[in-house]
Amino acid sequence: MIRYPTRKTPYRRPKQHTANRGMALEKLINESNRHYREHNRAVIHKKPTPVQIVNVDYPRRSKAKITEAYYRRPSTTDYNGVYRGRYVDFDVKETHERNAYPLKNVHAHQIEHLRAVSEHGGLAFLLVRLAHLDEVLLLPYEVLSGYLERAARGGRKSITFKELRASCLPVAEGIAPRLDYLSAVDRWLASKDEEGRP
Amino acid sequence: MIRYPTRKTPYRRPKQHTANRGMALEKLINESNRHYREHNRAVIHKKPTPVQIVNVDYPRRSKAKITEAYYRRPSTTDYNGVYRGRYVDFDVKETHERNAYPLKNVHAHQIEHLRAVSEHGGLAFLLVRLAHLDEVLLLPYEVLSGYLERAARGGRKSITFKELRASCLPVAEGIAPRLDYLSAVDRWLASKDEEGRP
């Protein structure tokens, strides 16, 4: 569908391919969310991609056509909704690294947003896919912030896969839902409840 | 910024002006949300307008330019977020009617979404502005659904302003925040608590 009218040299993939990398993962999450909604387990949606609209045509007898627009940087995460009365807010990340997840993959505005959500009693987390291992992990914001603090103190700028596995909740892949991340949320909530007990 | 290259006759406003009517109100809500975020009272954002992207150009040395796209119908409401640990989800509506709010202004997919949110323990509501009276009311989904049921049984297809005032929570207008709808949510939660008492 994409034409390159002004380009003579062969097309090269734009630089921000980290955004595209998540595409397959995004599809799995979107299908899982549909499954959750249809089975009345949660109401979670992906937010639309933010677009700055510059020019719109109104051709006769047809609907408005946007003829000039640009992608904007999202100010929040991509997914939010309600589960068991709780506010749920997360972003999905995919890494092709083989040993550690680089913290630079999480943007400052996303960290800020997750921190605020967590402070207000929401469930804030990342779903991280280790592509080479075909493994998905739920990384709670509280855990992520520990690694961010370590990096800020001059420590390593990534989370080793060993650390991730020790501090995250594994997400099971299946058919329906494709990625049962809400069961990981359940285990997370159960462990929070245990911590809260005397 | 809008050009009409094919149009010879004077431009007439596209038919769905109910969507634009809410613009001023939307701005008040967006500013209120910024105020709430800056004062750490809640994390509530407007969702981006959903757009179906058909064609993107990648001009040399500049960012991706969307050259063909269309507005899509939103599948949810426009606003959601977290307040006092609760999931908050609402849409804003404005009416220029003088006596009653027409129920046809609330689309079926929005009703369905608000119902699901409410069922999952979220706070689902509409903010309705009576333009001629310069009055804003918080209409909880539970109250709205009563009027929808009346209409389904053959009753009136609108809510009279008198009924609205008796069954909604008034929203105070001010400077900061512009529309203090979270204080109306507080009163709503307090009345829910009272109902719950023996």
* Cβ contacts of A45 on chain B, cutoff 8 Å: 75-76
CA distance A62 to chain B (A): 10
Q: Does A172 touch chain B (CB under 8 A)?
A: no
CA distance to partner chain A, nearest, from residue B134 (Å): 30
- Segment B87-113 shows an average pLDDT of 95
Mean pLDDT of the residues in chain B: 88
**pLDDT of B4-62, one tens digit each?**
555 555 544 444 344 434 458 999 999 999 999 999 999 999 999 999 999 999 887 77
CB-closest option in B11, B51, B59 to A51:
B51
Asked if pLDDT for residue A22 goes beyond 50, the answer is no
The reported pLDDT for the residue numbered B98 is 94
Choose the mutation target among A120, A141, A185 for the interface with B, i.e. most B CBs under 10 Å. A120
Query: What is the reported pLDDT for A55?
Result: 94
Q: What is the mean pLDDT of chain A?
A: 88
Enter the pTM of the model.
0.85
Summarize pLDDT for A83-93 with one digit per residue, the tens: 999 999 999 99
Render B54-115 in DSSP notation, one character per residue. Answer: EEEE--TTS--EEEEEEE---SS-SEEEEETTEEEEEEEEEE--SSEEEGGGS-HHHHHHHH
- CB of B73 closer than 8 Å to CB of B91: no
Instruction: Kindly state the average pLDDT of the residues A39-64.
Output: 91
User: Is A55 near chain B, with CB under 8 Å?
Assistant: yes
Residue that is written with structure tokens 């004062």 in the block: B39
CATH number (3.20.20.70, 3.40.50.1980, 3.40.50.300, 3.40.1350.10) of A20-196 reads 3.40.1350.10
Distance CA B126, CA B138 (A): 6
Residue B81's closest CA among B29, B131, B148? B29
CA distance B137 to chain A (A): 24
CB contact under 8 A, B49 and A51: yes
User: What distance in Å separates the CA atoms of residue B13 and residue B9, rounded to the nearest whole number?
Assistant: 12
Q: What percent of chain B has pLDDT over 70?
A: 87
Average pLDDT over residues A6-16: 47
* Pick from A61-75, A151-165, B24-38, B128-142: least confident: A61-75
pLDDT digits (tens, 9 = 90+) for B149-170: 999 999 999 999 999 999 999 9
Considering CB atoms only, which of B43, B71, B121 is closest to A64?
B71
Confidence (pLDDT) at B20: 39
Give how far the C-alpha of residue A164 lies from the chain's centroid of Cα atoms, to the nearest Å. Answer: 16
* d(C-alpha B39, C-alpha B56), whole Å: 39
> Closest Cα of chain A to B100: distance in Å?
31
Question: How confident is residue A21, by pLDDT bands cut at 50, 70 and 90?
Answer: very low
Q: How many CB pairs under 8 A join A and B?
A: 154
Inspect the interface and report whether the beta carbons of A48 and B51 lie closer than 8 Å. yes
Q: What is the mean pLDDT of residues B139-153?
A: 97
| CATH class of the domain at B20-49+75-196 | alpha beta
Of B2, B47, B80, the CB nearest to A48: B47
CA atoms of B178 and B183, how far apart (whole Å):
12
Please indicate whether residue A10 or residue A21 has the higher confidence score (pLDDT). A10
**B-chain residue closest to A74, CA distance:** B48
Q: Of A100-114, B51-65, B68-82, which range is least confident?
A: B51-65
Identify the bridge partners of residue B169 per DSSP, sorted by sequence position: B138
The count of other CB atoms within 10 Å of the CB of residue B143 is 20
Please give the share of chain B, as a percent, with pLDDT higher than 90: 75
Chain A residue numbers with beta carbons less than 8 Å from the beta carbon of B74 are 48
Residues β-bridged to residue A135: A130
Interface check B116 vs A, CB under 8 A: yes
B24 inside 8 A of chain A by CB? no
Chain A CB contacts of B114 below 8 Å: none
Interval A47-71 mean pLDDT:
90
Give residues 77 to 106 of A whose Cβ lies within 8 Å of B: 80-89
Contacts of B179 (CB under 8 A, 6+ apart): B28, B29, B32, B127, B136, B171, B172, B173
Judge: A70–B71 Cβ closer than 8 Å, yes or no.
Answer: no
Is pLDDT larger for residue A62 or for residue B101? B101
Cβ distance B82 to A89 less than 8 Å, yes or no, reads yes
Higher per-residue pLDDT: A197 or B120: B120
Q: Is A37 on the interface with B (CB under 8 A)?
A: yes
